[in-house]
Structure 1
């Protein structure tokens, strides 16, 4: 049985974007968060948006796992014939990608208002593993050129990886200076500028991941991944 992994990757991007936007709209409509500069997790702190966020994030994590594995198998097959990418490097990117998807599930399962420590650890796992994954995938893309992606795609991936990396540090560093825990932030508080910087950069990193996976469209048109079932007699 074969799968169209280009459609799977489209599902990943669409489900992830929908998760962020739908949760945000519901949270704002219910006045659970401020219209401007909420954390992504703020928009999924209270039901019913937390329930929807958890479900849609799990779907995104499953689609992400399938996409990351398909990319791993594509690079593996490409390297069998060309030897352009180290199998060890390819396996490391696979592990990092899977860890990032695991972090997504932890973030969705443990809301920040319920189990803050676990939620924070899940967010760190998601962002750190995700940023490292796209950085190493940029390295893989350049190693595989011209057998894999075009140079334009390689440069787009590099640009997205740079943006995600630069936005990641303010996301984490500024968050340590944010003392307010209420979902409605006091704009006059001394830590509000840190909150704005951290929240904006968090959204940038998240959408950078989505944009990066969109660059897989052309690659996934070049192969088909098949699953075979054999009965033992």
Structure 2
């Protein structure tokens, strides 16, 4: 059996590969069509115009579904380990699940409402995604040690969480100083430095969130989920 077929580790593997491909594919298409600048566009800029907006929307929806499945599997894994030990508070595990599902839902909002059409809804979805996503990986890092993960995995999760949290604040703060919403920017624009700082940090947060799921691979090799069907006699 190949390593990626052990347990449920195919879930985080698929999620990481597909999500990374989503960002890269839309970026390359947007660059090829000259819809965005080569250097430092926002992630949403690369999925603002068709046909990349169609591809970005479809691939992001699939990423959201894969993310929801992965987060739910992680929730059940922690719940099972916690049955006898009671090391992790159930409310903490449930809070992580709710935040994770919220981040997946907000991904769909970002992909559906392009920034050039319905900006306010798009920005609200993006903010919700970053807030809920960063909080999710922070809580999962707290849960990880000394419970169910090795010290190395715990440290990796903490490092990724710190990077994501530190990059989140300049992403949001600098975005407030960006006045122009055009896809092409000029270095002479007064708000150009804020745009660059916000865009770079946005990419850092996004890929930190994606890379965090790489740390799930070893854990997901250890378990599977099964669906039990029960018929109820209503007569």
TM-score (normalizing by structure 2): 0.95
| Deviation at residue 4 of structure 1 after TM alignment | 4.3
| Deviation at residue 93 of structure 1 after TM alignment | 0.4
Contact kept? 2:134, 2:165, Cα under 8 Å: yes
Contact kept? 2:44, 2:115, Cα under 8 Å: yes
Q: What is residue 63 of structure 1 aligned with on the other side?
A: 66
| Deviation at residue 223 of structure 1 after TM alignment | 1.1
Q: What is residue 187 of structure 1 aligned with on the other side?
A: 187
Is 1:33 equivalent to 2:36 in the alignment? Answer: yes
- Of 197-206 and 178-187, deviating more is 178-187
How many angstroms apart in 1 are the aligned matches of 2:92 and 2:67?
19
How many angstroms apart in 2 are the aligned matches of 1:143 and 1:59?
33
Contact kept? 1:85, 1:143, Cα under 8 Å: no
Unaligned runs of 5+ residues in structure 1 are none
Q: What is residue 51 of structure 1 aligned with on the other side?
A: 54
How many angstroms apart in 2 are the aligned matches of 1:231 and 1:22?
45
* Moved segments of 4+, more than 6 Å: none
Unaligned runs of 5+ residues in structure 2 are 1-5
RMSD: 1.0
- Of 52-61 and 6-15, deviating more is 6-15
| Deviation at residue 186 of structure 1 after TM alignment | 1.3
Contact kept? 1:37, 1:199, Cα under 8 Å: yes
Aligned residues: 228
| Deviation at residue 23 of structure 1 after TM alignment | 0.1
TM-score (normalizing by structure 1): 0.96
How many angstroms apart in 2 are the aligned matches of 1:215 and 1:207?
13
- Which of the numbers 111, 124, 127 marks the counterpart of 2:114? 111
Q: What is residue 125 of structure 1 aligned with on the other side?
A: 128
How many angstroms apart in 1 are the aligned matches of 2:91 and 2:146?
13
Contact kept? 1:9, 1:213, Cα under 8 Å: yes
Q: What is residue 204 of structure 1 aligned with on the other side?
A: 204
Contact kept? 2:7, 2:222, Cα under 8 Å: no
